[in-house]
Chains A and B, each alone.
Chain A
C-alpha cells in the first residue's frame, strides 16, 4: 500500500467510525447501568430521519438537535417498557428496532412521496485544523474531519473522567454491577437507568444525524444498516470502557474502510472478509474470561 493510500485508508476509517462511536458510547452508558438496549438501531434511524426533517426546515445544528431529540424520544419508549413496565429488555429492544425502521420508512414515503424524491440536506464539510492536519499519516485522518468527529475527542475523555471520577459515574457503575447494593446506598437504580437510556438514545440519534448531515447528505430507508447492533459488538470489543469503545469503533470503521479499498484496488481477497472480521473478533474476545469479567455483573437483569 502506498503512503497516500494508507493515509486515505486511515481517513475513511475515522469517517466510518464516527457514527459508530456515537452509537457505541451511548450503548456503553446504557450497559454500564445494567441494561442492554438492542433497540438502539431504532434510535439511530429515528435520528437520521429527524436530521432530515429538522435540517430541511433550518440548518445543520438544528438537524443535529432534531436527531438527538428523536433518538431520545424513541429511547424513552424503550425506557417506559423496560423500566416502568419491567418487560424483557431483549424482546422490547427488538421491537424498538423494528418500530424505528418501519415508522421512519412509512413516514418518509408519506411525507416525501413514494418515489423517495432525492432530497438533499445541508451537510457539514470536513474542516482541516491548521498545523495538526499536516502531520504525516494520522494528521489528515484525525484532523481533517467534520466538527462532529472533533466533538468525540472531548466526549470520550469526558465520559472516561465522569465514569471513574464523579459520584454520578459511581452511581452508574454501581447500578450496573450490584443494583440492590446501590439501592441500599440511597441510589435509585431506576433513575440511573432512565438517565442512561435517554443519554444512549440521544447519542444514537446523533449517530443517525451524522450519517445524514456529515456523510450522505440525504435520508434512505434502513440507512442505519445495523449500526445499532454493531454498537453492541463495539461495546464488547471495547471491554466496556470509553477509551476501549473509541478504539473498537475505529477497528470496525477501519474494516469498512478496508472493504472499500479491497473493492476499488481489486485485491484477491474477498471483501466480506474484513467486514466479518470484527464480529468474529468480538466472539473470540467474549469467550475469554477477561472480557466476561469486564462486563457489568447485572447486565440484562431485571431490577428487584
Chain B
C-alpha cells in the first residue's frame, strides 16, 4: 500500500519534495520561498525543515554539532533503536558524524583521488563508445535510457569488482532505497527485512574474502581503522553507499546535461565548435542541474534563522537550491557554459563533500565528449515524455532525442 499524499497547497508551511509539482520543476518553488520565508517548515514526514538560500544551506552543512548525518534520506521511517547509533550510522561515512566520520572518510579517500580516478577514464570512454555504437543508424535515441543510466552503473560495478551482468539488479536496489520514500513504514520495513540487498552484498564480500582482487571491495576488506580490519557491517554499509550514491546521481547529471543541450541549440553548437569549453561547461551543468539534495536530522534543539528546530526534526538540504540562489550566482537560472566564477555546491559543502566527485566529474565530461563527437546535432523529440525522478536525487529518467539523418 502506497500512501496517497495530499497535494501541496502552501510550500512555506506544507512542502513535500515528492509532490509532482516539485518533481517536475522545483526551481520556482525555491525562488518563491527565498523571497518570503526563507526557511520553510512542513509537518510531513513527522516534521521537516527546508532552507533554500545558499547562505542557509551552507550554514547547516558546516554545523555538524546541531545537524547530524545519521540519516540522509527523508522518509516516513526515522532511524530506530536497531540502527547503528551516531556517529557511525548505517552507511559510513555519509551517515557518520565527527570524529568517527573523519576516520571512515580518510579510509576511502585514496580510492577516489583525482589521480586514481584517471585510471578509469579509458574504461569509461570505451563504455560510452560501445553504448553509442549500439544506437548506430537510429534516428530516435533516449539519452537517459540508452546512454546516461548505463555509464555510472557499469563503472561502479567494475570498481567494486562485481559481474557486469549484475548491473540491472543494482538498478532495482537503487529504486528501492531512493525512490520509495512514499511507501508506508510497514512496506519499507518488510523490504529491509527481506534483506535482499544485504544478502547480495554478503555473497560478494565472501567471494572477495576467499579470493582477494585488485578492486574496491578488496580494498575495503583489507583497510584498517586503528590497526583493525573493518567490521563486516561497516564494509557492507560502505559498499551499499558507493553503489547507491555513485549511480543515479551521475546518471541524473549526464541526463540533465543532455536534456539541456537537446533543447538549447546555441549551447549545443557552441560546445561542438569549442571543445575546450567543456571544463567550465561541466561545472555549469553541475551547478544548474545539481541532482542531489541531502538531509540531516536535528541533533539538538537549535534556533536557526528565527525558526526553533527540535531534536529529531528532519531537515532537507537542497544543494540544487543553493546553486540557483540569485544572491550568490548572477543570472542563477541561466546556463552560461563559460561561467568564470562558479563556486557551486553540487557536491555539497564542508566535511561531507561528495567523495565520488572526481569520479562523477570524469564520467560527466567523458560522457558529454563522446556524445558530442558522435551526435553534435540532436534535439528533444517528445518533450512531454521527459519524466523526472522523485525523491532527493533529481534527474530525467527519459530524454527522447531525434538525431537528424541518423548517425
A binds B: no
